[in-house]
């Protein structure tokens, strides 16, 4: 069935047809096997070889019926991308034929080469063995490529031969288990009959679309995902006419096919709209558990690019592809729920049942305040340095938005008073007298990096191009750590109800400095945050360095999420990735400006000189306008070339540093990155002077307004 046929098919008939979902398993597996697998998914049982064998056979038959010829263990190494090694289902027979086989052992475990992926020193090149292990809780799916090929993809974790995590999924799963364990301790004390607690995420994905014809003529976009040079057009986003505007026909056609492909994969794509910048858009799915949402966001990004290519478009996921206009983020909407269907961040309307909400709320406040540098680190990459604090995204300062009403409630609770209808009255604070809280306690604050939005927190710092795994691993672990403190106190308290009141009051009082309901974009907030003692980590290099510090190691080891060696390796990998990214950006900037912009300037200088000479030959000796333009272009061309030479020198110096990943990253940040701004200013000035027909590469006008 081709795309046109699918579009004519009702959504409910195509939804999930490429996902080995719970519904498919219930239909294809024997009841006893299905029940056993559900226990494995819930963490109650370990996966047996017998169950794996039956599931593998059913999964193979389903995939073959859909046209699959190969399977792959689909994993997320520390490259920031996904990885896959394809194996066919065929198994030769003695008579020269083949049969289609897929065993339980092949389902459970694979063995890709671990030495070729980033490992930060955990593995030597000759220590190649690594293993992929099936994540039973994340549905397998069928990936269709643009040529018609179909591959069964099995979401997996990736570990080394000696058991270290070499991917993003292993620590995420460990963090989910950590917050489950500590939440259950707290809820048991509160008298709630719960077997499991899960964290869920709904990641909003922002992206740009550009015409492939123009993209192919921009080496900087092709190699780095952003324009390293480019002057703003006369009109940008200042008229606010693109945001939530009518979607253009070409973008709409792309979105229709994108939704179709996502729905076939069982990804509940729900919302789509024009974003603030020209040719910028957003797509948002419905919530999934953290590990499934992470997998599906990676798949969504891949599908964005694949479907864009079918429409002669390119989807740009970089945080700041165009200087001077809004960049892209990935709003990580995080919540925590029980297996009985209770959202622990839902205020509710029954005062007796609000104890868990208040307790979990202050736990999150403390976790965000205490581990703010780690949350900042989770949102750090080279692209986000162009975005954070640029009056379009949260600043680099971590703060929480609760809204005035919830703030007042916490103030009254911590002060031993009662909040009622906006008034504060004296009362003895007890579980049964906690206030009734409406669902929508607040307006929304789009400038806050960590905002409470009714029954979830929206972490708005996460970069658009990266996995959400790190952000949620850190958030889960940080909250688990505080819940463990609370549980220790409550479990040993003679009167748990009195201890709960004490914990709420004490925690809020000590950590309310992180709460800010105002304009996070303002300069006043930067000054106030400093006076409150909040951290302001302004660049990626400083942020990355946080993960290997003692407090971080203690946190992650305490909850068995990451070891000291694993954390140090990730720090090394991220610092090296930053240096490599800036090196590529600087190199392509040198190439573009030296080989295209500078020659274009020379051509225009020659044209101006010839014009002035021609005027003289015609008896017009006074041509001040042309002389002034010639002087201006020549001055900026010389300035550009001088800055290029300086950048080349600084790039060479940074590249030659061998005293460690941190020293090299610092050099790239302080010297190379800074000098790139000088080259850009000179180049962008020349773009405003040189005639359009002589400018060698597509402009912002082409990239942002032609679709």
Q: pLDDT of 652-686, one tens digit each?
A: 999 999 999 999 999 999 999 999 999 999 999 99
Write down the pTM of the prediction: 0.92
Q: What is the pLDDT of residue 94?
A: 72
Q: Are residues 323 and 389 both part of a single domain? A: yes
DSSP string spanning 317-368?
A: --S-SSTTS---BEEEEEEEEETTS-BTT---S-GGGGHHHHHHHHHHHHHH
CA neighbor of 113 nearest in space, from 102, 124, 101: 124
Q: Are residues 200 and 321 both part of a single domain? A: yes
Find the angle CA(323)-CA(331)-CA(435) to the nearest 5 degrees: 135
The 3-class secondary structure across 262-306, one letter per residue, is HHHCCCCEEEEEECCCCCEEEEEECCEEHHHHHHHHHHHHHHHHH
Q: Are residues 459 and 596 both part of a single domain? A: no
Q: Cβ contacts of residue 268 below 8 Å, gap of 6+?
A: 285, 286, 288
Q: Are residues 622 and 510 both part of a single domain? A: no
Residue 681 lies in a domain: yes
Which segments in the chain show pLDDT lower than 50? 1, 350-352, 422-435, 437-439
Residue 351 lies in a domain: yes
As given in the structure block, the two tokens for residue 137 are 């809780």
Q: Note whether 364 and 380 are within 8 A (CB).
A: no
Cβ neighbourhood burial of 585 (10 Å; 0-12, 13-18, 19+): buried
As given in the structure block, the two tokens for residue 664 are 């090299």
Q: Are residues 104 and 181 both part of a single domain? A: no
pLDDT tens-digit readout, 424-448: 433 333 444 444 544 455 556 778 9
CA neighbor of 669 nearest in space, from 579, 609, 536: 579
Q: Are residues 447 and 398 both part of a single domain? A: yes
Q: Are residues 279 and 383 both part of a single domain? A: yes
Neighbours of 213 (CB within 10 A): 13
The rounded distance, in Å, linking the Cα atoms of 17 and 15 is 6
Q: Are residues 556 and 681 both part of a single domain? A: no
Residue entry with tokens 């942020």: 543
CA neighbor of 457 nearest in space, from 478, 436, 487: 478
Strand 70-74 and strand 150-160: the pairing is parallel
CA neighbor of 107 nearest in space, from 69, 136, 141: 136
Looking up residue 308, the CATH number of its domain turns out to be 3.30.590.10
Residue 533 lies in a domain: no
The stretches of 18-111 forming alpha helices (DSSP H) are 22-28, 31-41, 49-65, 104-108
pLDDT tens-digit readout, 395-422: 889 999 998 878 888 888 777 666 555 4
Q: Note whether 410 and 360 are within 8 A (CB).
A: no
Last residue of a domain, one of 125, 141, 166: 166
CA neighbor of 309 nearest in space, from 203, 215, 224, 204: 215
Range of the domain at 592: 577-705
Q: Are residues 39 and 130 both part of a single domain? A: yes
As given in the structure block, the two tokens for residue 154 are 């099995």
Looking up residue 58, the CATH number of its domain turns out to be 3.10.20.70
Q: What is the pLDDT of residue 73?
A: 94
Q: What is the pLDDT of residue 668?
A: 98
Last residue of a domain, one of 136, 166, 196: 166
Looking up residue 668, the CATH number of its domain turns out to be 1.20.120.1560
The rounded distance, in Å, linking the Cα atoms of 381 and 667 is 16
Give the bridge partners for 283, in sequence order.
Answer: 205, 272
Residue 229 lies in a domain: yes
What is the domain count for the chain?
A: 3
């Amino acid at each position: 069935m081709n795309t046109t046929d699918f579009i004519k098919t009702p959504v409910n008939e195509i939804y999930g047809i490429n996902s080995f979902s719970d519904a498919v398993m219930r239909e294809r597996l024997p009841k006893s096997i299905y029940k056993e697998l559900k226990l494995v998914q819930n963490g109650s049982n370990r996966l047996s070889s017998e169950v794996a064998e039956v599931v593998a056979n059913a999964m193979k038959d389903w995939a073959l019926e859909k046209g699959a010829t190969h399977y792959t263990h689909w994993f997320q190494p520390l490259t920031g991308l996904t990885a896959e090694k394809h194996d066919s289902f065929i198994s030769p027979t003695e008579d020269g034929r083949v049969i289609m086989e897929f065993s339980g052992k092949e389902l459970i475990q694979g063995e890709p080469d671990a030495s070729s992926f980033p490992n930060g020193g955990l593995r030597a090149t000759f220590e190649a063995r690594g293993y992929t292990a099936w994540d039973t809780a994340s549905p397998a799916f069928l990936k269709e490529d643009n040529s018609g090929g179909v591959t069964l993809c099995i979401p997996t974790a990736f570990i080394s031969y000696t058991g270290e995590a070499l991917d993003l999924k292993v620590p995420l799963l460990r963090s989910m288990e950590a917050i489950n364990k500590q939440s259950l301790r707290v809820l048991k004390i509160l008298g709630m009959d719960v077997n499991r607690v899960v964290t869920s995420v709904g990641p909003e994905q922002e992206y740009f679309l550009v015409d492939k014809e123009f993209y192919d003529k921009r080496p900087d976009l092709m190699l780095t995902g952003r324009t390293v040079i480019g002057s703003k057009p006369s009109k940008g986003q200042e008229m606010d006419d693109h945001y939530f505007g009518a979607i253009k026909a070409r973008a709409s056609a792309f979105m229709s096919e994108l939704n179709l492909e996502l729905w076939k994969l069982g990804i509940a794509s729900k919302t789509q709209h024009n974003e603030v910048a020209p040719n910028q858009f957003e797509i948002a799915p419905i919530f999934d558990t953290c590990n499934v949402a992470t997998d599906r966001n990676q798949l969504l990004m891949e599908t964005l690019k694949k479907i864009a290519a079918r429409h002669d478009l390119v989807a740009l996921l970089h945080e700041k592809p165009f200087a001077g206009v809004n960049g892209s983020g990935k709003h990580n909407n995080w919540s925590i729920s029980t297996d009985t269907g209770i959202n622990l961040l839902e205020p509710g309307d029954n005062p007796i049942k609000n104890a868990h909400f208040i307790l979990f709320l202050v736990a999150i406040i403390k976790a965000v305040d205490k581990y703010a540098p780690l949350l900042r680190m989770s949102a750090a990459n080279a692209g986000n340095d162009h975005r954070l604090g640029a009056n379009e995204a949260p600043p680099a300062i971590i703060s929480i938005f609760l809204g005035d009403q919830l703030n007042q409630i916490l103030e009254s609770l911590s002060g031993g008073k009662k909040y009622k209808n906006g008034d504060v009255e004296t009362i003895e604070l007890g579980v049964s007298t906690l206030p009734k809280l409406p669902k929508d306690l607040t307006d929304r604050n789009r400038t806050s990096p960590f905002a409470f939005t009714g029954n979830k927190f929206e972490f708005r710092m996460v970069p658009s191009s990266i996995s959400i795994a790190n952000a949620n691993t850190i958030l889960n672990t940080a909250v688990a750590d505080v819940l463990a403190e609370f549980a220790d106190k409550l479990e040993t308290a003679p009167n748990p109800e009195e201890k709960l009141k004490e914990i709420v009051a004490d925690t809020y009082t000590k950590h309310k400095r992180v709460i800010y309901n105002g304009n996070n974009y303002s300069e006043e907030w930067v000054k106030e945050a400093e006076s409150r003692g909040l951290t302001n980590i302004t660049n990626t290099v400083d942020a990355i360095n946080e993960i290997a510090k003692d407090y971080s190691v203690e946190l992650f080891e305490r909850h068995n999420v990451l070891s000291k060696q694993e954390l140090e390796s990730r720090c090394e990998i991220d610092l090296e990735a930053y240096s490599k990214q800036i090196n590529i950006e600087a190199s392509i900037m040198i190439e573009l400006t030296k080989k295209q912009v500078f020659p274009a300037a020379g051509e225009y200088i020659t044209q101006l000189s010839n014009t002035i000479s021609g005027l003289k030959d015609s008896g017009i000796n006074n041509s001040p306008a042309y002389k002034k333009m010639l002087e201006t272009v020549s001055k900026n061309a010389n300035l550009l070339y001088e800055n290029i030479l300086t950048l080349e020198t600084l790039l060479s110096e940074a590249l030659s540093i061998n005293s460690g990943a941190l020293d090299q990253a610092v050099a790239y940040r302080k010297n190379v990155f800074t000098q790139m701004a000088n080259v850009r200013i000179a180049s962008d000035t020349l773009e405003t002077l040189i005639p359009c027909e002589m400018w060698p590469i597509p402009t912002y006008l082409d990239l942002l307004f032609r679709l």
